[in-house]
C-alpha cells in the first residue's frame, strides 16, 4: 500500500518487520450483511492529513 509507506516515511516511522494478524471481514459481510465504515487506507489518510494541521 504505497500511501501507507509514504506516511511512514514522511513521519520517519519504522515499518513493522512483520504483521501478526490480518482480520478479514468478508465472511461477516456475506453472512451478516456487515459493512465496515472504516478501513486501513482511510486511517492512513487521516494520519497524513493530521500532520498538515
| CA 50 – CA 27 distance, rounded (Å) | 33
- Whole-angstrom CA distances from 1 to 6, 38, 42, 47, 49 are 9, 16, 12, 15, 17
| CA 30 – CA 47 distance, rounded (Å) | 30
Domain span including residue 39: 2-50
The predicted pLDDT at position 51 comes to 65
The predicted pLDDT at position 53 comes to 54
The predicted pLDDT at position 31 comes to 92
The predicted pLDDT at position 52 comes to 58
Instruction: Walk along the chain (53 residues) in steps of 10 and give the mean pLDDT of each run.
Output: 78 85 84 86 76 59
Number of domains in the chain: 1
Amino acid at each position: 500500500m504505497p500511501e501507507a509507506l509514504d506516511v511512514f516515511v514522511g513521519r520517519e516511522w519504522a515499518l513493522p518487520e512483520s504483521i501478526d494478524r490480518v482480520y478479514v471481514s468478508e465472511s461477516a459481510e456475506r453472512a451478516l450483511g456487515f459493512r465496515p465504515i472504516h478501513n486501513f487506507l482511510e486511517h492512513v489518510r487521516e494520519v497524513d492529513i493530521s500532520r498538515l494541521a
